Amino acid sequence: MSMHPDDKALLGALRRGDADAFATLVDRHSSAMIRVAMAYVPTRATAEEAVQETWIAVMRGIDGFEGRSSLKTWIFRILANVAMRAGPRERRSVPFSALAAQDAGEPAVDPDRFLPADDERFGGHWLVMPTAWPTPEEGLLAGEVRNVITTAITGLPAAQRTVIALRDVEGWSSEEVCEALEISAGNQRILLHRARNRVRQAIEDYYGAVFEIDYDAVTAQLADDTAREETDLK
């Protein structure tokens, strides 16, 4: 694998001892690094220390970096190892994929929102369906709903929170997230799906944007339509 052109220039500057280049790297990645570290350790202070320790390891290791992964992936792998060791004793050396497995199996949407699968005509269809949000023109982050979203993300299980923060808040690609966290693409999508759904649910609750379908009325309407068609055919 050839080295990414951005990495090549940056790496050259770092190896020459260019402190500005190092500052650029620190400023570019530290926010996301704190998010990742928080997946492994219980407190913000421990996460910050893990990031600090990672930067020290990066400056010591930079001459030996061979470019088999991107510089970014390499940095986040170091961070994962540092943060794992800094985590609670019982979770030490638990990789991210194991954290991710802890919240498997939860449906994206409350099953009570749908008719039971064995309903003769409408099994598995919406009973309480979502309706459009009165989103402010400037977008979801402009109004009060911003706090609702922030609270929802803060309350997510660690693995979901980390994935949605990297993908949607930091704007990483799915490949970057998979590489940095060493999870499969499928696993990444499951975590992202659950996380986005919890946020969607929180916004829906805030707006009260649901509509309960009256299936008796729907059935009556369909019966009417059928009767009319039959009359028309005669």
Partner 1 sequence: MTSHAEELSCVELVELVTDYLEGALPDAQARRLEHHLDTCPGCTEYLTQLRTVAGSLRGLTEESFPEEMRDGVIADFGDSRNG
Residues that bind partner 1 (CB under 8 A): 17, 19, 22-23, 26-27, 30-35, 38, 48, 51-52, 55-56, 59-60, 107-109, 111, 114, 117, 121-126, 129-133, 135, 139-141, 146, 149-150, 153, 164-165, 167-169, 171, 174, 185-186, 189, 192-193, 196-197, 199-200, 203-204, 213
Q: Which CB atom, from 15 or from 92, has the smaller least distance to partner 1?
A: 15
Q: CB neighbours (10 Å) of residue 178?
A: 19
Q: Which CB atom, from 81 or from 197, has the smaller least distance to partner 1?
A: 197
Q: How far is the CB of 183 from partner 1 (least distance, A)?
A: 14
Q: How far is the CB of 10 from partner 1 (least distance, A)?
A: 13
Q: CB neighbours (10 Å) of residue 146?
A: 13
Q: How far is the CB of 59 from partner 1 (least distance, A)?
A: 5
Q: Is 144 exposed, middle or buried (0-12, 13-18, 19+ CB in 10 A)?
A: exposed
The encoded tokens of residue 192 equal 């992202």
Q: How far is the CB of 72 from partner 1 (least distance, A)?
A: 16
Length of the chain: 234
Q: Which CB atom, from 92 or from 211, has the smaller least distance to partner 1?
A: 211
- In order of 86, 135, 156, the CA distances from 142 in angstroms are 37, 9, 22
Q: Which CB atom, from 89 or from 188, has the smaller least distance to partner 1?
A: 188
DSSP string computed for 118-153 = T-TTTTTSBSEEE------TT-TTTSTHHHHHHHHH
Angle subtended by helix axes 71-86 and 5-15, to nearest 10: 70
Q: Which CB atom, from 117 or from 217, has the smaller least distance to partner 1?
A: 117
Q: How far is the CB of 94 from partner 1 (least distance, A)?
A: 22
